[in-house]
Amino acid sequence: MFPHFQQEREDMVRWQIEERGLHNQRLLEALRKLPRHLFVQPGDEIYAYYDEPIPIGFHQTISQPYITALMTSLAALEGKETVLEVGTGSGYQAALLGMLSNRVISMERIPELAERARKIVDEVGIKNVEIIIGDGTGGYPPEAPYQAILVTAAAPSVPQVLLDQLTDGGRLIIPTGTRSLQQLQVWQRRGSHFDSEDILPVVFVPLLGQYGWKER
Ligand code: SAM
């Protein structure tokens, strides 16, 4: 259905994703199908499958393909979940989550990015993703609890309010640390306890808002 850049997508999956140890077949299939070049700014299509983040305007980025795939893989989706994403950006991660779960709520604080992401998600025919404009640091209580929450911007620490919106067994994937370097972490709810694991060092743009960094 989206034949353009098919070879680039195959190469991305083979060399950036599988080669780094991600082998979930549903995830790899979704990455092979989703036309990433539609989510970048017009004129940047040829860079869309590069092994790096790309600017999307408003000082924001579409994350590196591997990091998007890794965070998705850490969410361990089977198809029935309701997922919250904080940081819609281009909409690519939200669309990928939509292909692998039942329903996605994705929050973005920059209205222009949210509108653009809505249009692209619609264009690629993904119907189960709702993009909400606003500060997502406090989550989105009307649709909670979530089996998975992905925060795709760097938080100073883990907002308890997000942990509280997980189902029992639910997972929060979030980069936390300083503004310049973070640790990607997975938090899992077990009753009233939360286990956490450090995955790898990462660099994300800051999560700005009530339970994130203050704007400066
Ligand atoms: N997931 C995105 C994608 O697939 O393109 C990449 C996200 S980009 C690295 C981080 C995004 O988080 C930016 O678009 C930024 O505006 C957004 N953001 C930062 N703080 C936020 C907040 N408090 N609530 C919602 N979005 C936020």
Is 63 designated active site?
yes
Atom of ligand 1 minimally distant from the CA of 113: 14
Q: How many whole angstroms separate alpha carbon 154 and alpha carbon 158?
A: 10
pLDDT at residue 87, rounded to an integer = 98
User: Which of 41, 54, 60, 100 has most ligand 1 atoms within 8 Å of its beta carbon, as the pocket-test mutant?
Assistant: 60
pLDDT at residue 1, rounded to an integer = 52
- State if residue 65 touches ligand 1 by the CB under 6 angstroms criterion: no
Q: What is the ipTM of this complex?
A: 0.99
Q: How far is the CA of 135 from the centre of ligand 1 (A)?
A: 10
Ordered by start, the domain boundaries in the chain are 6-202
**Which residues, including other chains, have CB under 8 Å from residue 4's CB and lie 6 or more apart?**
35, 37
pLDDT at residue 216, rounded to an integer = 78
Is domain 6-202 annotated with CATH 3.40.50.150? yes
pLDDT at residue 55, rounded to an integer = 97
Long-range contacts of 67-72 (CB under 8 A, 24+ apart): 67/184, 67/202, 68/92, 68/93, 68/96, 69/16, 69/17, 69/22, 69/27, 69/31, 70/20, 70/22, 70/184, 70/199, 70/200, 71/150, 71/152, 71/173, 71/184, 72/27, 72/96, 72/97, 72/100, 72/150
Per-residue pLDDT tens, the chain, 216 aa: give them: 567 999 999 999 999 999 999 999 999 999 999 999 999 999 999 999 999 999 999 999 999 999 999 999 999 999 999 999 999 999 999 999 999 999 999 999 999 999 999 999 999 999 999 999 999 999 999 999 999 999 999 999 999 999 999 999 999 999 999 999 999 999 999 999 999 999 999 999 999 999 999 987
Contact 94, 101 (CB under 8 A): no
Contact 67, 89 (CB under 8 A): no
Q: How far is the CA of 82 from the centre of ligand 1 (A)?
A: 19
- Burial class, 1, CB count within 10 angstroms (exposed 0-12 / middle 13-18 / buried 19+): exposed
Query: For atom 25 of ligand 1, which residue has the closest CA?
Result: 108
Summarize the chain as % helix, strand, coil (round to 5).
35, 30, 35
